[in-house]
Amino acid sequence: MDVEGLLILVKSLPALLQATLVNLGLLLGLISLGFVVGVPIALLQVYGPAPLRGLALAWEGFFRGVPALVLLILFAYLPPKLGWGLEPFTAAVLALGCRSSAYQSQIFRGAIQAIPQGQMLAARALGMSRWLAVRSIILPQALRLAIPGWSNEFSSVIKDTTLASAIGVVEVFKRASFIYQRYYELAMPAYLTVALIFLILTYGGNWLLGRLERRLAVPGFQLRGADARTQAQAQAQAQARASTPAEVAR
């Protein structure tokens, strides 16, 4: 890439950054929708009655099984045929948000099931209803335990926002393709710039979520505590071996 090409790329950088705001808007919308829908789906799978549990499993299975691009096309082009007009941005949020809700539901389901059953039994013994115990005791702990898995979902969906370009949303990947179409020699530098933008967003978001995880860590569930117990057991075993007659003879 020559100096002229570099100047063109630099001049295009504000447009790329502005298009990145579209990706962030998509991210905020779809991950919020995924959270709002995913938590009830997880609760129904664990505590719901059989009919509702079946519906929750069907929702999770469908949106995990259908490819993201197919969902985008369905949400973009099927509603107009039924008389509902959806903007491409809204269709992308709904399609990717419903897909994220299926994955988030499994993150939250695993976190809910990680809470010891004794806590539910103790709450019921105190006279609390099942749903009151879930809402006030189980769910607050589960949401905190789910942060590591949720950060992985964040890393996935922030990159999935580029798929919205398939239905006409002008986000940063689409904007980079405009540069490529006008200046063929800038294709690789433009896409490398997009890659750098997503690296910064991904690592920045994971860093913030890591801080949140440490701040909201549930006492007794930290991995550091498990590591400490493992280390203590290893030290005890080493001391036991050292106290055997063979080790003393040495």
How confident is the model over 13-44, as pLDDT tens digits? 888 999 999 999 999 999 999 999 999 999 99
> CA 134, 138, 140: angle at the middle one, nearest 5?
110
User: According to the model, what pLDDT value does residue 4 have?
Assistant: 66
Residue of 143, 166, 214, 139 whose CA lies nearest to 69: 166
Structure tokens at 97: 């948000």
How buried is residue 138: exposed, middle or buried, by Cβ count under 10 Å (0-12/13-18/19+)?
buried
User: According to the model, what pLDDT value does residue 219 have?
Assistant: 66
Tell me the fold of 3-218. MetI-like fold (1.10.3720)
**Does the pLDDT of residue 9 top 80, yes or no?**
no
Q: By the 8 A CB rule, do 174 and 109 touch? A: no
C-alpha separations of 245 from 239, 240, 249 in Å: 12, 11, 6
Q: What is the largest CA-CA distance in the chain?
A: 88
Residue of 132, 129, 138 whose CA lies nearest to 39: 138
Cα–Cα distance for residue pair 140/69, rounded to 1 Å: 34
First-last CA distance in the chain? 69
Q: By the 8 A CB rule, do 41 and 102 touch? A: yes
225 or 85, which is more confident?
A: 85
- The domains of the chain are located at 3-218, 222-250
User: According to the model, what pLDDT value does residue 221 have?
Assistant: 57
User: According to the model, what pLDDT value does residue 222 have?
Assistant: 52
Position 106 confidence tier, pLDDT thresholds 50, 70, 90: very high
For the chain, the helix, strand and coil percentages under 3-state DSSP, each to the nearest 5 = 85, 0, 15
Query: Which distant-in-sequence residues (6+ apart) come within 8 Å of 13 by Cβ?
Result: 193
Cα–Cα distance for residue pair 243/47, rounded to 1 Å: 51
pLDDT by residue (tens digit) across 210-226? 998 888 876 665 544 44
User: According to the model, what pLDDT value does residue 227 have?
Assistant: 43
Cα–Cα distance for residue pair 231/250, rounded to 1 Å: 25
pLDDT by residue (tens digit) across 161-205? 999 999 999 899 999 888 878 888 778 888 889 999 999 999 999
